[in-house]
Structure 1
Amino acid sequence: MSSELTDFQLEIAGVRLGHGTSVPVAAIEGLARPAVRGEVVERPNADGAWIGPDWYEARTLRIDCAVKTPGDPAAAARIVAQLEEAADSPRVRTVGGAVLPLRIKWPGAPVRVLFGRLRKVEPSWEQAAFGWVPLDLEFTAPDTRYYADVEQRAELRLGWLSGGGFTAPVQAPIHVSDGDLSGQNRPGWVTNNGTVDSYPVLRVYGPCANPVITHVETGSRIDLGITVPAGEYVTVDTRPGQRTVTRKGGGTLATTSPLGSFRLPPGRSEIRWTASDPTASARLTVAWRDAFKTLVNPKENLAR
């Protein structure tokens, strides 16, 4: 379980950095707006220039810190080794798209998370005998968004009318509802409490055939065109850098549906799905995190 963080603290691979820890931080670069790439073309025979679209580069955090364990150089070495192990983990380093979380607690906001890799762990051992090891860290997040610390989940049985149904005795005319005419508790509602689009991880559990998942507000649709046997599942990961469809055992599936367009905009929206299932036991799970443009949401600050 993740540890609690206080203001001006970070956590990478179980190592806490920042105020009140054994790893004080002198400076951090990269928390604000990420760098952009885009063309600036001079206008021929005219003043000024034409500016093309700006696209964000990966967010890179450069952390100037030091391990401070007076009288205990071995403890300092263990902390450095823990960070080096995280950077060198084969499950992250040698797998395309694999990332690890960096948790940040800043004043005026709850804990936010960046997902990326430790690309640099560079200690200076000259003063290690005194329990002081200056340390340069570099963490690169391919997705520039900040995410909520806690993942949200929703589960949808086949047919979003599962909340209602028939009441015996059945008499004509027959009315079927979702059990909540206001729609407030319909199973397909999902809420992104952030300020920018979030991309969910969808998982279809069999038995079912030809599952189709639709985001109602945007009209985005994922048509898998496959059969998922009982006891199996298929994972549709729409997150940037992770956009794949995989079976339970890890096999990759092809799809013509644009996974990058399936997103949860800020606020509440609805997901529906259909499939062929004679047992009525298939289900869909949706997992997502609130997503934010900035480390501190201005609205959160104003509310305090």
Structure 2
Amino acid sequence: MSIDLEDWQIEIGGILLGHGSRIPIAAIEGLARPGTRGDVVERPGADGVWLAPDWYEARAVRIACAIKTPGDPEAAAGLLAALEQVAESRSVRMVGGAVMPLRIKWPGSPVRVLFGRIRKLEATWEKAAFGWIPLDIEFTAPDPVYGGDVEQQVELRLGWLSGGGFTAPVQAPIIVNGAGATGGQKRPGWVTNGGNVDAFPVLTVHGPCANPQITHVETGRTITVPVVLDAGQWVRVDTRPGQRVITRNNGGAVATTQPLDAFRLPAGRSEIRWTAADPTLSARLTVAWRDAFTTLGTPLEKPLS
């Protein structure tokens, strides 16, 4: 269960930092626009340069803070040990691509999340006997985009392709479409990314079915998964940065040459449809994502002059 955060607070691994906590923050860097990388090429025989595309670098959040438990050095040491235990988590530290959430509450905005690791945790012990331990913390997020605090999810079952029944003769396997026959806003395939930048979903197909094909309608991007799933089996397509792999419920990977990073949910509302061979009509697709933001705060509707 997540901790409720107030303005100017950060939470990582269940430990609260910032305003009103026992770990007040003196300074924090790395929350604004992340660094960029890109070539700057001189223009032969002409003034100026040519600028290549700017790609965002990883986001490095540096926090200067201190454990503050006046007169209680044991409590201070315990808080430091708890932070060290979070940083030591082997399920993150020893697994390539594994990350943990860092939650941030900024004034005027809901809680937003970065996913990364604690890469630096240094303590100064001179005043530890008084319950005061300054800390230098660095959290590195390989994807610099902020995510919504709550993961969104929709479930799509396979429905009739036309809504008008079948025309005899009918032969198995029956190919059905996950958008269903209902129209307008009642169609179950609508997904909404409430952020201001593309979000990358996790797509999970639960059997029984064969050769599911998932399409983002507005962009036309399609992912086809060449698998046969029995009841109780699933296959997961993870399009998130740093993940981007297709795995089965037994842990095995599904080989693909498809560009998983091309399948994304743009800001606003869009539609997901899917098809599969399923004579039972019991297969389902879950689409999970977090709203994605390039800023920690909420932009003003009318910027101040």
Q: Please confirm whether the aligned pair reaches a TM-score higher than 0.5, indicating the same fold.
A: yes
The 1:229/1:60 distance shift into structure 2, 3 A limit, reads: same
Match of 2:156 in 1: 156
- Cα deviation for residue 165 of structure 1 reads 6.7
Aligned pairs, number: 290
Amino acid corresponding to residue 31 of structure 1 in structure 2? L
Match of 1:69 in 2: 69
Counterpart-to-counterpart distance in 2, 1:75 and 1:157: 52
Match of 1:172 in 2: none
Amino acid corresponding to residue 49 of structure 1 in structure 2? V
Amino acid corresponding to residue 105 of structure 1 in structure 2? K
TM-score (norm 2): 0.91
TM-score (norm 1): 0.91
Match of 2:112 in 1: 112
Q: Is the 8 A contact 2:158 2:180 kept in 1?
A: no
1:190 aligns with 2:197: no
Match of 2:141 in 1: 141
- Select between 39-48 and 146-155 the one with higher mean Cα deviation: 39-48
Ranges in structure 2 where 5+ consecutive residues have no aligned partner = 166-178
- Cα deviation for residue 161 of structure 1 reads 6.2
Match of 1:174 in 2: none
Ranges in structure 1 where 5+ consecutive residues have no aligned partner = 167-176
Q: What pairs up with 1:250-265 in 2 under 5 angstroms?
A: 250-265=251-266
Structure 2 counterpart SS, 1:298: coil
Amino acid corresponding to residue 191 of structure 2 in structure 1? V
Q: What pairs up with 1:1-304 in 2 under 5 angstroms?
A: 1-159=1-159, 180-181=182-183, 183-299=184-300
Counterpart-to-counterpart distance in 2, 1:91 and 1:300: 42
- Cα deviation for residue 72 of structure 1 reads 1.3
The 1:112/1:150 distance shift into structure 2, 3 A limit, reads: same
Counterpart-to-counterpart distance in 2, 1:207 and 1:300: 48
The 1:160/1:134 distance shift into structure 2, 3 A limit, reads: farther
Cα deviation, 1:217-237, whole Å, max 9, x if unaligned, reads 011100011111211111110
Amino acid corresponding to residue 291 of structure 1 in structure 2? A
Which 4+ stretches in 1 moved above 4 angstroms? Answer: 177-180, 299-302
Structure 2 counterpart SS, 1:86: helix
Identity %: 68
Q: Is the 8 A contact 1:108 1:300 kept in 2?
A: no
Counterpart-to-counterpart distance in 2, 1:118 and 1:106: 21
- Cα deviation for residue 43 of structure 1 reads 2.1
Amino acid corresponding to residue 235 of structure 1 in structure 2? R
Amino acid corresponding to residue 204 of structure 2 in structure 1? R
- Cα deviation for residue 300 of structure 1 reads 7.3
The 1:93/1:56 distance shift into structure 2, 3 A limit, reads: same
- Cα deviation for residue 179 of structure 1 reads 6.5
| Superposition CA RMSD, Å | 1.8
Match of 1:169 in 2: none
The 1:276/1:17 distance shift into structure 2, 3 A limit, reads: same
